[in-house]
Amino acid sequence: MREKILNDLVSAMKAKDKERLSVLRMVKGAMQMEELDKKRNLDDTEVTVLLGKQIKTRKDSITEFEKAGRMDLKEQTESEVKILEEYMPVQMTEEEINKKLDEVFELVKPQSSKDMGKIMKELSSLKGKADMGLVNKLVKERLN
């Protein structure tokens, strides 16, 4: 995935696609920062998590732009999100998440909400494949 992003960056330069180029440069910068911290190249899962963070940040910005009435910035940020989502794997549906939750609850057998950490640790494999906010919400609902 890392290589695909870098290759698409070069393609965007050649095609003079300024918007895609800008977004991919931001992603490349974020990847380089992570790689410096980890002192190695990122694997696909780590790149996917990084892209998820980039998308979440932009979605939060969209909400703020709507509140401020800045529709120009909102539209620009939405198009950035669309570009980033092209690189994300297909997200799990709520039904698929619930099946995974059934398996984890059978394995962990939680007694109370104090077991939330154990459950989320088991579900960490879903990072990048599912909306972790939704996963967290579903786990809390089941524990209560």
Residue 26: which pLDDT band, with cuts at 50, 70 and 90?
very high
Residue with tokens 């398996």: 103
Residue 65 and residue 77 in contact, taking contact as beta carbons nearer than 8 Å: yes
Question: What is the pLDDT averaged over residues 91-101?
Answer: 89
Locate 135 and state its tokens: 């996963």
Locate 74 and state its tokens: 């909102």
Instruction: Report helix angle 44-68 to 18-38, nearest 10.
Output: 130
Residue 25: which pLDDT band, with cuts at 50, 70 and 90?
very high
Question: Does the pLDDT at position 128 exceed 80?
Answer: no
Per-residue pLDDT, 68:
94
Considering only 10-19, 56-65, 83-92, which range has the smallest mean pLDDT? 83-92
Locate 61 and state its tokens: 């910005």
Per-residue pLDDT, 59:
92
Per-residue pLDDT, 112:
82
Q: Domains in the chain and their CATH numbers?
A: 2-85 (1.10.1510.10), 94-143 (1.10.10)
Question: What is the pLDDT averaged over residues 80-100?
Answer: 90
The whole-angstrom separation of Cα 23 and Cα 84 is 8
Residue-averaged pLDDT of the chain: 91
